């Protein structure tokens, strides 16, 4: 494992992280921690499925937003529905943040119609 601080390959394993995010299939495994022998920096292996420090994985957030868009009446109902799957409470404000973050990246109906329009229209 290459050290992100100095780029050295002289690293050793140094335990695991205390917590891990929750995915659609349940809690993920904790991440391996490393320490660099050259500079003394401590770091963990990157997980592509979740943002650093996130409590839930990206696929769990996408599933929550998909359920909301498909017609669940409220964030509160969705939070109660997701709690058994996550094995821990899911905050309504967290679901709200996910919806707003993904809405900012979504295409508008006009953008979609422009992409689907035949050439020359």
Question: In the beta sheet, which residues pair with residue 36?
Answer: 11
Residue 27, pLDDT > 80, answer no
Tokens of 16: 């695991």
Task: Collect all residues with Cβ–Cβ distance below 8 Å to 37 and sequence separation of at least 6.
Answer: 8, 10, 11, 12
Hey, is 110 helix, strand or coil?
A: helix
Which of 20-24, 92-96, 104-108, 111-115 is the least confident region?
Answer: 20-24
Residue 109, pLDDT > 60, answer yes
Tokens of 18: 């205390």
pLDDT of residue 76: 93
In this prediction the pTM is 0.55
Closest-CA residue to 34 (of 12, 52, 62, 67): 12
Residue 50, pLDDT > 60, answer no
Hey, is 60 helix, strand or coil?
A: helix
């Amino acid at each position: 494992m290459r050290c992100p601080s100095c780029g050295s390959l002289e690293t050793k394993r140094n335990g695991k992280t205390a917590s891990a995010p929750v995915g659609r299939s349940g809690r993920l495994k904790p991440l391996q921690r490393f320490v660099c022998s050259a500079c003394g920096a401590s770091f963990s292996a990157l997980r592509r499925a979740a943002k650093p420090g996130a409590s839930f994985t990206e696929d769990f957030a996408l599933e929550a937003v998909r359920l909301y868009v498909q017609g669940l009446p409220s964030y509160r109902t969705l939070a109660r529905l997701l709690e058994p799957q996550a094995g821990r409470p899911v905050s309504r404000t967290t679901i709200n943040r996910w919806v707003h973050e993904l809405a900012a990246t979504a295409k508008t109906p006009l953008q979609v119609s422009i992409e689907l329009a035949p050439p020359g229209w």
